[in-house]
Amino acid sequence: MLERATKQWEQEGKLGWRDLEARPFLGFKHTVAEAYEYAGKLNQALEHYQAILSADEGDPLGVRFRILSIYARTLQWQKAEELANAYKDGDHHWDDQIIVPLLVAAIVTDREVAARSLMEDLITVNLNLSTLLTSEDPYAMIIDLSSSKLYRSNSIESLALLSAICCRLWCILFMSWSGCGILMRS
C-alpha cells in the first residue's frame, strides 16, 4: 500500500504539507517512519523522514527532530551538524529540540569544544535549564514534567522531556559499548 501511494505521490511531484491532498499520504508516511524507528530499523525510518523533509523543507511535521535523533543514535555527527545548522537561521528558531540531540551526538563522538558551545547555546535559549540542574531531585522533576501532554519549545517541560529521551539514549549507547548491543563506538 505504501509503495503504491509513494509512486502516485512521486508522479504528482512530491507535494508538500500545504497541498491538502498530500497531507493524508505524508501523515501515513510519518506513521510508517515512526513504526520503523520504534522497531529499531533506523535506516528505513530515516529514509521516510528524509523524504517527508525533502517534500516540504518548512517541516510542519517536525521530522528534522526525529532525523537529528537518529543521527545522534547512529553517531553521524557531520550529518547531524549539517541538518541542525540548516535550521539555525531563517524561519525556524534554534531551540532545545535541535540543540539536545546535537549535544548528545557531540558528547558521544568526543567533540568537547562543540559540546561546550552547544551547552552554552542551550543555556541561552532555555533559561529553565538552571532550575532543572539545581533542583533537589532533578530525576523526580524530569519524570513528573516529561509526562506532561503540553509541549512548549524552550520550556522546562521540554527540557524534562528531552532529558528523559536522552536517558534512554544513554542506556542504549551504554549497552552497545559494553558489548550488549550491535552499535559499536568508532
pLDDT score of 50 = 93
- Provide the residue count of the chain: 186
pLDDT score of 77 = 92
pLDDT score of 185 = 36
Q: Residue with C-alpha cell 528523559?
A: 164
Cα–Cα distance measured from residue 120 to residue 53, given in angstroms and rounded to the nearest whole number: 28
pLDDT score of 54 = 84
62: left (phi over 0), alpha (psi -120 to 50) or beta: left
Q: Residue with C-alpha cell 524561519?
A: 91
Per-residue pLDDT of the chain (186 residues; tens, 9 = 90+): 566 666 666 666 666 666 666 778 788 889 999 999 888 899 999 999 998 888 877 788 889 989 998 998 888 999 999 998 888 766 566 788 888 888 888 888 889 899 889 988 888 887 777 777 677 776 676 666 656 555 555 566 666 666 666 665 555 544 444 444 444 333
C-alpha of 119 from chain center: 17
pLDDT score of 142 = 65
Cα–Cα distance measured from residue 31 to residue 37, given in angstroms and rounded to the nearest whole number: 10
Cα–Cα distance measured from residue 96 to residue 122, given in angstroms and rounded to the nearest whole number: 6
pTM of the model: 0.68
| Type of residue found at 117 | S
